[in-house]
Chain A
Amino acid sequence: MHSLLLDKWTTQLKKGILELCILNTLSQNPQYGYDIVRNIRKYKDFLAITEGTVYTVLHRFKKDGLVDTRLEESTKGPARKYYELSHYGKDYLVKVNKVWDDISLTVKEIINFNCPE
């Protein structure tokens, strides 16, 4: 029963974190879908996702106006779709990162206060 509860809580937490991770992956420079998947792949087991989920999140970002996309011709095959943070996406990322910092600091304080090592 407890492992079920833990699994459920962990899954919900990681779902929330995934978007934060993908946004930060895009923060440096535009990338095409496969590159983003490759960057996230290292953390695939930790985030408990499948690679297709990354594309779904990217589609949602595009719908929400957080990313812009463009097609670029490639010498190695078909045209590649590049994703890049929009102006709104960059603002949003700053705010989301700030929220994450605040949350993680606060939770750490609470844990240290109540369960000192």
Chain B
Amino acid sequence: MLDLPIEDQSVLIRYFDQVRRCAVFCKLDDDEIIQEIEDHIMQEISNYSKPVTQKDIESIIKNLGEPRKWIDENELPWWRKMCWTLWRGPNDWRLAYLSILLLFFGTAIAGPFGIIASFFFSRVVLELEGTQDIHRKRWLIYPSLIIVYFAICIIVLMAIIYPLGNCVKYLLDGLFPHVGHASFLNAFSAFFFVIGFFWFVLNSLISKYPKIVRKIFRPFTDNWTPKKRLVWGFLSLLFGIISIIATIVF
């Protein structure tokens, strides 16, 4: 222990233990860090004109800051950094890590409820941050967002396409009875029709109700511009044409 003119060095010992615990799995040498802390304390008390007391040592330690501050987070393995963030924050990163953990472990335990819980955490992170700092967290929050948005799109489309699909099938069977049983060809046409219709519906919705759609599908629609409407419209038309050609040619 240090050669200090105080009897009770328990505060110091506790501080060193906490620093060593923070340095576990860190690339830095904890002995080197402890040596620096000891050197700092000895230099500090060498400037004292009056006898050093327990309170002086506590004040020096307080000025040095939390034990965690001695460890550069970049030196920690990713899982340790994650645990550290989960334990101490900041809140936005904590929520982002919770989102991805819930997606994997929550889904394994509770099925779709895990996905829904993960989705809510991701949305909270979005609301906290806007879109400024999302880029660094995207790998943590995007998976659950994509899954839920995709599910919403499928549900909305199926609600429209299922009744329409029956009409289209009836039409195809009526117009081209000789290919009525070629399920692959029907499926091929239907596939392109569905994709084209999907882009058409999405384009229409976002053009008509841009605020609502942006609110629902954040952050993927944040950068939507009217110019992109033309691109999406073209895509839907292209798929529709392919669908028609496939139906006619075959």
Contact = CB atoms under 8 A, between A and B. Distances in A.
B64 interface: yes
A2 to B, nearest CB: 15
B115 to A, nearest CB: 31
A65 interface: no
Given A56-B70, A76-B46, A50 B65 contact: yes
A52 B69 contact: yes
Q: Which of A56, A63, A78 has its CB near the most chain B CB atoms (within 10 A)?
A: A56
B58 interface: no
Interface string B1-42: 000000000000000000000000000100001011111101
B39 A56 contact: no
Interface string A54-90: 0110011001000000000000111011000000000
Contacts of A78: 35, 38-39, 42
B63 A56 contact: no
Interface residues of A, number: 18
Interface in A36-62: 37, 49-53, 55-56, 59-60
B42 A52 contact: no
Q: For A34, A37, A50, A52, which residue has the most chain B Cβ atoms within 10 angstroms?
A: A52
Contacts of B63: 50-51
Contacts of A37: 40
Contacts of B39: 33-34, 77-78, 80-81
Contacts of B173: none
Contact of B70 (A55, A77, A80): A55
Contacts of A49: 65
Contacts of A56: 69-72
Contacts of A80: 39
8 contacts: A33-B40, A34-B44, A56-B69, A56-B71, A56-B72, A78-B35, A78-B42, A81-B39
